[in-house]
Amino acid sequence: MTDDPVIANLLTVLDANPELLPVRISVIELLAARGRHAEALSQCATALAQDPVNAQVTALLQRCTAALAGAAGESAAAALASTTSAAVEPEAADSGYDWEAAEEQVGDIIQPAFVNERSEPYAEGDVGLFERPKLTLADVGGMEHVKQQLELSLLGPVRNPELAKAFGTSARGGLLLYGPPGCGKTFVASAVAGELGANFYAIEIADILNWYTGRSEYNLKQVFRTARRKAPCVLFFDEIDALGHKRSHLSGSSSLRSTVNQLLTEMDSMTSDNEGVYIIGATNHPWDVDVALRRPGRFDRMVLVALPDPEARVSILRHHLKDRPVEGIDLNAVAARTESYSGADLAQICKSATQLAMADSIRTGAVRPVRMDDIAAALAQTRPSTGAWFESARNVVEFANNDGSYDELAAYMRTRDNR
Ligand SMILES: Nc1ncnc2c1ncn2[C@@H]1O[C@H](COP(=O)(O)OP(=O)(O)OP(=O)(O)O)[C@@H](O)[C@H]1O
Ligand SMILES: [Mg+2]
């Protein structure tokens, strides 16, 4: 089969000693370098049987699959073009599919895959993620209600400061996005930054708190300093409930209290110049957010980012299937069958379906695109993950909504119940 003497020799060695993984990896590399991807792929399968999590082999496998998919790209594109209007765009498929990048996106959905450009390296003392998103609200599928609220409470006032003044509204203070996990809070916040042509600066509250005691306030100060320096900037605080006494392991500690106070001081327009710094917080558990943070002038506007509607589900599915070889996927049909699924659940379905097609491809040595039956199989294995969240939410709207903070949530729960 092989006329390359080096490869031939190595294969002879492997015949006698099949367990020599480094040798097999060398063979795979040589085969890939010679463009013999199908053979390389079958060697990858043997190597993975031996060591299923070997990073080097996985990377080679992705490279070979991608190369083969490039060859199969045309037929995949044709298949895509013939599916319904809601199918994955052909250009996504025929751009040659980069499995490695695509895996990265699905592997960690919290990592904003939509961010295209990293701005300058962090200055010393900076924490968090700093990016300049190209994404805008137009990239957010469905969720019209969320977009409307963002327009009213943040984008409108920022774009029309004079008008906002006349109506006594402003973009000052913070906006709190809340809802079940994996439904687009981070995604939406990043889109707001893109919409404003602003930097997106994402901070996990835990990253500030986990540092050794006494540093939390300093860290927070640094974060605001950086955000002001990078204005216009959307300063995104994720998991803001970590500052709440109910959940934190630092519960009751004076350190936590002073961190909350520091945050209030930094947010306070009287003591801080936050011109061009738009503060958005996110939480899955708004009921655990420190009450001091929810007072007027602080995170006083709450926006529910609920489960994705059908249109949002189509966008999410499209996002997670782009850059993969697909055939005959009817996104509308999948969206119709995934009523209670979160964005994270949908990402999981796409990932499982892709793995099924990939396993088949490895077995046969030829790329087999992801099809509807893979999606169906993945769907059968994946249950909606937000049940527990809705249970907490139900208690809150029933027993802890005296001030009407959760009216929007209550209304949403009613529409769900009535369906
Ligand atoms: N409306 C939408 N349109 C397109 N894609 C979406 C939409 N909503 C969510 N997504 C996709 O779903 C993924 C998960 O969303 P995201 O990470 O923003 O959720 P989250 O609410 O911040 O989750 P967590 O609670 O885990 O922090 C995003 O990376 C994005 O690709
Ligand atoms: Mg998030």
Q: How far is the CA of 297 from the centre of ligand 1 (A)?
A: 27
Tell me what the mean pLDDT of segment 378-396 comes to: 92
109 CA to centre of ligand 2 in angstroms: 9
Q: What is the mean pLDDT of residues 80-97?
A: 36
Question: Going by CATH, does the domain composed of 129-307 fall within 2.130.10.30?
Answer: no
Mean pLDDT of 155-176: 79
Ligand at shortest distance from the CA of 179: 1
Residue 141 CA to ligand 2 centre (angstroms): 17
* Cα 184 to averaged position of ligand 1 atoms, centre (Å): 3
Mutational pocket test of ligand 1: of 114, 116, 137, 183, the residue with most ligand atoms within 8 Å of the beta carbon: 183
Query: Ligand 1: distance of its center to the CA of 35 in Å?
Result: 37
Using DSSP bridges, classify how beta strands 277-283 and 299-304 pair: parallel, antiparallel or unpaired.
Answer: unpaired
According to the model, what pLDDT value does residue 107 have?
A: 31
Instruction: Output the pLDDT for position 49.
Output: 78
Over the stretch 266-283, which tens digit does the pLDDT of each residue have?
998 777 788 899 999 999
d(CA 17, CA 106) in angstroms, rounded, equals 36
Rounded Cα distance between 272 and 107, Å, is 39
Atom of ligand 1 nearest to the CA of 316: 5
User: Is residue 85's pLDDT more than 50?
Assistant: no
Instruction: Tell the residue nearest (CA) to atom 6 of ligand 1.
Output: 316
Give residue 371's pLDDT. Answer: 95
Q: Out of 128-137, 191-200, 245-254, pick the least confident.
A: 245-254
φ and ψ of 28, to 5 deg: -60, -45
Segment 182-191 mean pLDDT: 94
Q: Which helix (H) or strand (E) holds 299?
A: strand 299-304
| Residue to substitute in 186, 200, 283, 385 for testing ligand 1 pocket (most ligand atoms within 8 angstroms of CB) | 186
Protein residue with its CA nearest to atom 8 in ligand 1: 184
Q: Using 50, 70 and 90 to split pLDDT, how confident is the model at 210?
A: low
Tokens of 170: 């402003």
Enumerate the domain spans of the chain: 5-98+323-381, 129-307
Ligand 1 pocket: which of 237, 316, 348 to mutate (most atoms within 8 A of CB): 316
Q: Whose CA is nearest to atom 12 of ligand 1?
A: 343
Which residues are close to ligand 2, an ion, with C-beta < 5 A?
A: 185-186
Interval 173-195 mean pLDDT: 93
Residue 227 CA to ligand 1 center (angstroms) comes to 23
- Which residue lies with its CA nearest to atom 18 of ligand 1? 184
CA-nearest residue, atom 16 of ligand 1 = 184
Ligand nearest to the CA of 189: 1
CA of 202 to the centre of ligand 2 (A): 10
Separation of 204 CA from ligand 1 center, angstroms? 16
Q: Is 182 left (phi over 0), alpha (psi -120 to 50) or beta?
A: left
> Would the CA dihedral through 191, 196, 201, 204 be positive or negative?
negative
Report which DSSP code applies to 154.
Answer: I
**Structure tokens belonging to residue 339:** 């009523």
Indicate if the alpha-carbon torsion angle 320, 237, 143, 197 is positive or negative: negative
Q: Is 118 helix (H, G, I), strand (E, B) or coil?
A: strand
pLDDT in tens, 94-149: 333 333 443 343 333 222 222 233 333 344 445 778 888 889 998 898 999 999 99
Q: Which ligand neighbours the alpha carbon of 110 most closely?
A: 1
Ligand 1 interacting residues, C-beta cut-off 6 A: 109-110, 113, 140-143, 181-187, 284, 308, 312, 315-316, 319, 343-344, 347
Token code pair at residue 18: 């099949």
The closest-lying atom of ligand 1 relative to the alpha carbon of residue 182 is 23
Distance 189 CA to ligand 1 centre (A): 10
What the block records as the tokens of 237 is 């605080």
